[in-house]
Structure 1
Amino acid sequence: MLDDTDRRILRQLLADPDADNATLADRAGVTAATLWRRLERLRERGVLRAVETRIDWRALGYAVEVSLRFTLDKTEPRAFDAFTAAARAVPEVTEIQTFLGSVDIRLSVIARDMAHWQQVYRDRILPLPHVTDIEPLMLVSTLKDSSELPL
């Protein structure tokens, strides 16, 4: 599906997503016209879906990040839908993931400090519907955070 030129372009795009097309083309060893055609083809194929902005929540004053693993009530047919709808409405929830296994859903939650975390947990997390178990995991450090692929 991808040839060496596509891989070089994607590696350069991942390394410096803010680079202009002329710089990306130069770094990937292709002309600007070739780069443009290749990027368009990658978009048409669905390899490139969107340009994404990543916000550093810590730079905005959010010092606490907690991962919460939830097990939901399996006897309630609408538990999943009700839970995810309620979780989406919590502003401090930055990510919702679903799983197969003993954990049904994982939420990533941010807070400014421990007092804010306690407020969010008591007022917004504990009232989420159809929860049978919660396992909170407080983030201590991030050892790898990369969107790089083995291209």
Structure 2
Amino acid sequence: MTVKKVISSIIIFSVFGVFGQTKLIDDRFAFTPGLDFDKNIDSPETYLGYELGSEYTLYANVVSYLKYLSSNSDKIIMNSYGKTYEGRSLEYLIISSKKNISRLDNIRKNNLLLSDPRNIKSKRCVKNHKRKSWNLLVEL
């Protein structure tokens, strides 16, 4: 292989690599197609006035958007779980279906049943129980 062929191959693969990575980044942040989104709730970009990641977002603005979401959706509940060392409130959102939001106490009781391995009702509880996950917003 000549030097010209090697260099041209490197250039071609580099160009395809750059454009391919750009497409992957765009797809990673795209909303899932086919899902219905509430048109009455502003996106973070609309609410904050800029595209996420293009500017630094103040903690107060993040909390303000979380409050906006919880007050405009019946699928979201916002709770506080403490304060930072600077006295800022630490918040978390519960996001689920309307049905699950209405039965949060029952879901909590099932979690408590599952936490005790001596409980023989656990197997029955698992069948009717919803999974949950925690995604924490951490202040750095």
Q: What interval of TM-score do these two structures reach, taking the shorter chain for normalisation?
A: under 0.3
Instruction: Please identify which structure carries the higher helix content.
Output: 2
The structure with the larger Rg is 2
Question: TM-score by structure 2 length?
Answer: 0.24
Question: TM-score by structure 1 length?
Answer: 0.23
Task: Tell me which of the two structures has the higher relative contact order, counting C-alpha pairs closer than 8 angstroms and 6 or more residues apart.
Answer: 1
